[in-house]
Amino acid sequence: MSSRPAKSGPDLLQKQLDKLFAASPAVHFILKLDASCVNQCGRFDWISHNVSSVMGCPVSLALEPDWWLSRIHPDDQSRVITAFSQLPLRAEMYCEYRFMFHHQSGYRWLRDQRSVNGDVSNKTYEVLGSWLDITDTHAAQTRLHEREQLLRKIIETEPECVKLVDVDGNILEVNPAGLAMLQTSDPGEIVGQSILDFVAPEFKSRLHAVMRRVISGEPAVLEMEVIGAKGRKRRVESHAAPLYGPDGRVSSLLMVTRDISERADAESQVHYLAHYDLLTGLPNRALYRDRLLQAMAQAKRTSTLVAVMFLDIDHFKDVNDSLGHAIGDQLLKEIAQRIRACVRETDTVARFGGDEFGLIQTNLNTVEGTADLADRLIKEIGKPFHIEGHEIHTAASIGVTIYPFDDHNAEDILKNADMAMYKAKREGRGRYQFYIAELNKIIQQRTAIERDLRTALVKDQLRLHYQPQLDLTTGKVVGVEALLRWQHPERGDISPVEFIPVAESTGLIMPIGEWVLRTACQQARAWQDAGLPPVRVAINLSAVQFRHKNLHESITQALSESRLDPCWLEIELTESLIMKDVRTTIETLQHLHELGVQISIDDFGTGYSSLSYLTRFPISKIKLDKSFVRDVDKKDGAAIAHTVITLGHSLNMKVMAEGVETVEQLRFLREHACNEVQGYYFGRPMPASAIERMLTGSLDGLKARALDLE
Ligand code: C2E
Ligand code: MG
Ligand code: MG
């Protein structure tokens, strides 16, 4: 019994080993290496019996001394013998070889792995090893290797720049064409650098975006400019595609970049030829038209004006005929330069051909600047040119039209400017002409006003008239509004409605406004000094003055110079003025309020007032616009007037009605508890001396009755 388990143990083990070997794709062996070996490769001691199924050879045959050596492919034999026989000498414990081995069906690839154990002193070794048929993997690896070689060759000889870049943009590999594009022959200068280092600054963010897209798995194309290691710029088109790692995520980017500098140059050359005039380098008629369309669209969006000018050189043909075309061309170039020098960077100057030029002035609020520009152009082109020893005199005729006053269609606008230019020529050359006759007149008048207004102050042509303002409950004059009058030596009195806008657009409103402020304060003080009952004096402030940083200072100065108590000064501001840029308005108004002056909103109801803002302004009075007072006899007018009065009172403000002309209007205002009135019914704006009489006298009977004072 005792021997059974001992006997059955090795049997069982043997069986299990046999099963294991039968299932194993590898053949296992043990061989001995010592002096008795016939060859230096050793003698097989044992070979697993699956040698018959795996290698098609019975175990007995496989154990024959020369069996496996004879089966090794002749090409591999000497390599294998040398390697195996030197194995103990090199004292290597483990080695692996691949060779071709003859199988029943022909040669197969074998992987031979063996480890050596042994006694070096008496040169006996035991080798444990295995053979595995790797024909299929070997074939696959070979194919892969060949493919890799092929790809490398293609990339190396590829005329386009090929780069492999990691997901952070660092260059991992670059082919010779890529090195050439980046102006180096040394990959060390490129590999490891960021791809962004070789791209013109204006394209960096776009390249970054493209890389992000590729990393997300989408191939992309980008046109950009690369800068070589020595600074040369090339226009390129880059195709980038993702490469995936074994984990299925994008591991790197393949970029194929083509130099398209020549194509880009050609394209821009074609574009240039199609859009620019070769002689002067100015835009041509086609580009001028595009710019005009853009300018018109922008003007529509921003409610601004566009001036369109046609400029023609008078008698240019004579220069060509008498001095030759070369000088004629030179003259055109210099004219182009002079025109450009007169305009803003954002304006367009074009040459239509011959001696015709076109201009577009954008972003205009008024047309005065355009008349100025036309004047300047005529002056500049009228100055003599010195070309190759010749002094040449020319003149320009200019036609101007203004969008949107003129047509709304670009073609018609161009035609009209052209017609205006011909009119200028007919009227004597060296001049400009606006297309619209009305506009022409306005421009001329405005230019004259501007010219004369400059000297009006010095020549003492400005006056202040005062219009009385009465308290509706007492019937007393409580204030006057100072209104500016210009006594023009030739044209007679000019209305402020006509000259204030010109003064505002030219900046003349500043000295004029200062004068009004000082004069009004002095007058109010003079009345007080003369012992008359004190009255408030109201002045109108223009937006330009209101936004000027000196406002506070000039008011303080006018008050202190005249020694007028601030409570007697009132500042009238229009609704549209205070509703613009509310934050600074509140600040400025607060400052004025702290000074102690009164603030009122003029022409109330004609602009747009936001109620929430109104409550935040330190305003003591609103002046109901005269257009509503005029209409109080109508249903709508009455409703508006009533609403404004109620609104003013609910905001704790007084309400004054302006433009009161009739007793009916007055009655309505009294009934609706309006606080103060101003208008022709009580007195037109009048010189200071006439006001004095009103301040001392009392209202005539009729008017007093209208106020229920008698
Ligand atoms: P505004 O401030 O609304 O002045 C009231 C205007 O209405 C004055 O016109 C006045 O003569 C007129 N008016 C007064 N009562 C009546 C009436 O019963 N019926 C009619 N139909 N009109 C009446 P004016 O003097 O021609 O001034 C016009 C505008 O010019 C003023 O309107 C004001 O905005 C501006 N202005 C006048 N003087 C100055 C000034 O010194 N500086 C500034 N920036 N603007 C001023
Ligand atoms: Mg006013
Ligand atoms: Mg008014």
Q: Is the CB of 665 under 6 A from ligand 1?
A: no
Q: Is the CB of 519 under 6 A from ligand 1?
A: no
Give counts: helices (H), strands (E), the chain.
27, 26
By most ligand atoms within 8 Å of CB, the mutation choice from 463, 540, 669 for ligand 1 is 540
Kindly give the distance from the C-alpha atom of residue 659 to the centroid of ligand 1, in angstroms, as a whole number.
9
Phi, psi dihedral angles at 403 (to 5 degrees): -95, 135
Atom 13 of ligand 1, residue of closest alpha carbon: 659
pLDDT at residue 34 tops 50: yes
The pLDDT assigned to 6 comes to 45
Q: From edge to edge, which strands make up the β-sheet containing 250-259?
A: 171-174, 161-166, 250-259, 233-244, 220-227
Q: Please state the length of the chain.
A: 710
Question: For residue 629, what pLDDT band results from cuts at 50, 70 and 90?
Answer: very high
Atom 37 of ligand 1, residue of closest alpha carbon: 483
**pTM, to two decimals:** 0.50
Place of tokens 């002095």: 522
pLDDT tens string 644-653? 999 899 889 9
Phi, psi dihedral angles at 595 (to 5 degrees): -65, -25
How many other C-beta atoms can be found within 10 angstroms of the C-beta atom of residue 164? 18
**Distance between CA atoms of residues 632 and 645, nearest Å:** 12
Atom 16 of ligand 1, residue of closest alpha carbon: 659
Under 8 Å between Cβ of 433 and 445: no
State which ligand 1 atom lies nearest to the alpha carbon of 572.
2
The pLDDT assigned to 35 comes to 61
Q: Is the CB of 624 under 6 A from ligand 1?
A: no
Kindly give the distance from the C-alpha atom of residue 658 to the centroid of ligand 2, in angstroms, as a whole number.
9
Local structure of 346: helix, strand or coil:
coil
Which residues does 641 contact at the CB level (< 8 Å), separation at least 6?
624, 628, 629, 631, 632, 657, 668, 669, 672
pLDDT at residue 4 tops 50: no
Q: Is the CB of 467 under 6 A from ligand 1?
A: yes
Q: Tokens standing for 633?
A: 């006899």
Q: Tokens standing for 424?
A: 């200028």
Local structure of 183: helix, strand or coil:
coil
Under 8 Å between Cβ of 192 and 173: no
Which residues does 647 contact at the CB level (< 8 Å), separation at least 6?
611
The pLDDT assigned to 5 comes to 45
Kindly give the distance from the C-alpha atom of residue 602 to the centroid of ligand 3, in angstroms, as a whole number.
5
Atom 9 of ligand 1, residue of closest alpha carbon: 483
Q: Is the CB of 484 under 6 A from ligand 1?
A: yes
Q: Tokens standing for 565?
A: 């108590």
Kindly give the distance from the C-alpha atom of residue 540 to the centroid of ligand 1, in angstroms, as a whole number.
9
Under 8 Å between Cβ of 82 and 54: no
Question: For residue 533, what pLDDT band results from cuts at 50, 70 and 90?
Answer: very high
pLDDT tens string 455-505? 998 999 999 999 999 999 988 899 999 999 999 999 899 999 889 988 988
Q: Tokens standing for 703?
A: 């008017």
Atom 7 of ligand 1, residue of closest alpha carbon: 659
Local structure of 162: helix, strand or coil:
strand
Local structure of 58: helix, strand or coil:
coil
**Distance between CA atoms of residues 384 and 10, nearest Å:** 124
Under 8 Å between Cβ of 571 and 599: yes
Kindly give the distance from the C-alpha atom of residue 608 to the centroid of ligand 3, in angstroms, as a whole number.
15
State which ligand 1 atom lies nearest to the alpha carbon of 539.
41
**Distance between CA atoms of residues 163 and 181, nearest Å:** 11
pLDDT at residue 38 tops 60: no
Q: Is the CB of 55 under 6 A from ligand 1?
A: no
**Residue, of 585 and 123, whose pLDDT is higher:** 585
Give the alpha-carbon dihedral of 444, 448, 450, 451, to 10 degrees. Answer: 140
619 vs 111, 570, 613, 648, 674, CA distance in Å?
101, 10, 11, 10, 17
Place of tokens 């450009």: 340
